[in-house]
Amino acid sequence: MAPPEQVKHVAAPAIGLHNLTLGYERHPAVHHVTAHLPPGSLMAVLGPNGAGKTTLIKALAGLLQPLQGHISGLAGQRVAYLPQRNEIDHSFPITVDDMVAMGLWHEVGAFGGYSPAQLQRCTNALSRVGLNGFGKRTLATLSGGQLQRALFARLMLQDAPVVLLDEPFAGVDTRTTRDLLTLMAHWQQEGRTVLAVLHDLEQARQHFPHAMLLARELVAFGDTAHVLTQTHLSKARRLNEAFDDDAPDCHANLPSTASAHTAHTAHTAHTAHTAHTAHPHRTPAAQARPHPETHLTSPRPGAQAHGR
Amino acid sequence: MTDWFDLMGALVWEPFATFGFMRRALAGCLALSISAAPMGVFLMLRRMSLTGDAMAHGILPGAALGYLFAGLSLGAMTLGGIVAGLVVAVASGLVARHTILREDASLAAFYLLSLSVGVLLVSLKGSNVDLMHVLFGTVLALNDDAVLLLGSTATLTLLGLAVLYRPLVLECLDPGFLRAVSRWSPVAHHGFLVLLVINLVAAFHALGTLMAVGLMVLPATAARFWARDITRLLLVASFIGLSGAIAGLLLSYHADLPTGPVIVLCLGVAMLISMATGPFGLIRSHWPNRSHRQA
């Protein structure tokens, strides 16, 4: 990897999830989540399969309308989104240069040509991800890790204040993972908000200051060390239960209480805004609503299939 | 040497120099291969080659209705064909989006429906000769209007593809990315379907409904064995399409064979030869160069 260029500053928005419910065919995959993501955070999104991680990322990318609630802070913001790799046609006859240059879409649009300066930025981006000299090769000749590096180069060219990555390290070797993690840390230094869906808890602990633990509901949110506790993890596993087609309609309009746990345990309330701190007006009665397990809902493990 | 020139002159030059219908057929084929071959490349890359075939059958009732009302009128049959093609495309798209049927199944249902109505309509009024005309086209009977139609279609297609090129490439390569960065995804998809329908209707006048897809799919599949990036793929496909069409025209002229099938057959042979001998074909992949580079 080439040494980082001069750190520039990007103004990222503060993103708010307000009582957000997302899902497919009325089955919630993400259920009543309220959270506030401070600008410029590097956050791991964790949870069991079918917990709604991909669904949440898709909604943040603007590809999915909420069933209830809303997302604030992203209006008019450009968002760079890297879906899971299997959505890309690896055999498509196109050179790496051409694929990476698509990251400049916001500058050139559907018709504009590339200026020499823009082409130079493409070359620079490729060398930053360690793909010097790969520009003229076609996608089909790249290995899995190299393709992922090329996609990161495209993300760099998108130059967006918010970057969303869906399982960016699935099937990628340790060295590439390390290089790409360095790149993500650099994006955060530039002031961007970076969210990545991960499965490796150790990776999250080492490289991500913040984390969000999902199991349809928000289990915990805030400092990674305080989110990834044994209590929270086993709770996440428990919540991720079987779905019920005959479940009655959910009438709960209150934000998930789960995140309130974090407010008590997390010591960094200034970076880890939670449902509790964000909604001081909530009454004690609201907090005393039934435990999620007894609260009748229609969770959907099918989100695992949908949410890929 | 002079003998060879004379021979080639007689075989290749004479037919076009002597007969106006051969010149019009040549112009028509030129226009068709310039527009249909790139369309075929995108069909192939979008894994829609068979969709093209189904749509070609779907335009039949429209053309037949035009024929029923106005006889063998170019305008009426073209208009009818375009309307029927768009109806099949839109209807199968809607059904795929709003019911549990997938796109392939709903398209198959609609084109079969459309095809049976078409055949019925043709046989209501016309003779078997007319049916043959609709099914197999009449390259050698293209009049000036038909050549003009083919030329306009080719122009429109090239303009349309130029406008849609980048969104269309991205729609094939990484549709999720396109949807995330712009609103071009539905424009690219539907614009492409419209171009597909007008190309099929134009090709239908020359090659008939059954063969109209031949000029799209065969050059594109042949080109896949010669080129590895999309720009070259488009150029090679057009070149193969044009060569195959000229070879087919001449062969059918000299051997007195029906022109449409011979053109498609020539394209098919070009595809088989490419598959065997192209740089990415069977021979090179099964008996590769044993030496390899260090890195």
User: What pLDDT, in 10s, does the model give residues B35-44?
Assistant: 999 999 999 9
State the sign of the Cα–Cα–Cα–Cα dihedral B254, B259, B264, B267.
positive
Confidence at residue A88, expressed as pLDDT on a 0 to 100 scale: 84
Provide the pLDDT for residue A118: 93
Q: What is the pLDDT of residues B86-106, one digit of tens each?
A: 998 888 888 877 888 888 888
- What residues of A are in the B interface, CB distance below 8 Å? 61-63, 79-81, 83, 87-89, 92-95, 98-99, 102, 105-106, 109-111, 138-140, 154, 158
The domain tally of chain B equals 1
Whole-angstrom distance, CA of residue B177 vs CA of residue A81? 7
For residues B236 and B51, the answer to whether their CB atoms sit within 8 Å is no
**Other C-beta atoms within 10 Å of B101: how many?**
15
Structure tokens at A123: 């070359």
Contact by Cβ (8 Å): B228, A139: no
Q: Which of B170, B173, B231 to mutate to test the interface with A (most CBs of A within 10 A)?
A: B173
Q: What is the mean pLDDT of residues B73-92?
A: 88
Tell which wins on pLDDT, A275 or A256.
A256
Beta carbons within 10 angstroms of residue B50's beta carbon: 14
Q: Is the pLDDT of residue B65 over 50?
A: yes
Q: Write the DSSP symbol of residue A114.
A: P
Does residue B53 form part of some domain? yes
Averaged pLDDT of chain A: 78
* Domain-located, residue B287: no
Q: Are B182 and B176 in contact (CB under 8 A)?
A: no
Please state which of the ranges A97-106, A282-291, B113-122 shows the lowest mean pLDDT. Answer: A282-291
Residues sharing a CB contact under 8 Å with residue B16, sequence separation 6 or more, in sequence order = B22, B23, B26
* Residue closest to B233 by CA, chosen among B152, B137, B169: B169
The amino acid present at B76, given as its one-letter code, is A
**8 A C-beta contact, residue A174 and residue A165:** no
Min Cα distance B172 → chain A (Å) is: 7
| Over residues A62-77, mean pLDDT | 87
Decide if B2 is inside a domain: no
| List of E strands, chain A | 15-24, 27-37, 42-46, 68-72, 79-82, 162-166, 193-197, 210-215, 217-223
Taking only the tens place, the pLDDT of each residue in B108-146 is 888 889 888 888 887 777 666 666 676 677 777 788 888
Block residue for tokens 């957000």: A20
**Residue B238 in contact with residue B218, Cβ under 8 Å?**
no
Measured between beta carbons, the chain A residues lying within 8 angstroms of B172 are 89, 92
CA pair distance B120, A261, nearest whole angstrom: 71
CB contact (8 A) between residue B229 and residue A93: yes
How close A75 gets to chain B, by Cα (Å)? 14
Return the number of other C-beta atoms located less than 10 Å from residue A17's C-beta: 29
- Does the structure's ipTM exceed the value 0.90? no
Q: Do B174 and A89 touch (CB under 8 A)?
A: yes
What is the rounded CA–CA span in Å between residue B66 and residue B61? 8
Structure tokens at A209: 């200051």
* Residue A26, Ramachandran bin (φ over 0: left; ψ between -120 and 50: alpha; else beta): left
Average pLDDT over residues B172-180: 85
Q: Is residue B199 part of a domain?
A: yes
Query: B275: closest CA among B224, B215, B220?
Result: B224
| Predicted confidence band of residue A185 (pLDDT cuts 50, 70, 90) | very high
- Determine, yes or no, domain membership for B88: yes
Domain that holds residue B180: 19-214
* Residue B276 domain flag: no
Share of chain A above pLDDT 90, in %: 35
Instruction: Answer yes or no: is B256 within a domain.
Output: no
DSSP A140-200: GGS-HHHHHHHHHHHHHHH--SEEEEESTTTT--HHHHHHHHHHHHHHHHTT-EEEEE-S-
- Residue B186 sits in a domain whose CATH number is 1.10.3470.10
Report which of A252, A129, A239 is spatially closest to residue A183, judged by C-alpha positions: A129
**A162-166 and A27-37 beta bridge pairing:** unpaired
Residue B30 lies in a domain: yes
The answer on pLDDT for A200 being more than 70 is yes
Give CA separation, B204 vs A96, B36, B59, B81, B148, in Å. 38, 12, 9, 9, 14
Kind of pairing between the strands at A210-215 and A42-46: parallel
Q: What pLDDT shows up at residue A5? A: 54
Q: How far is B52 from chain A (nearest CA, A)?
A: 19
Q: Chain B: residue nearest A92 by CA?
A: B173
Q: Give the pair of three-digit tokens for residue B22.
A: 């051969």
CA distance B208 to B56: 9
Contact between B78 and B148 under an 8 Å Cβ cutoff? The reply is no
Half-sphere exposure of A277 (CA within 13 A, CB side): 20
pLDDT at site B235: 94
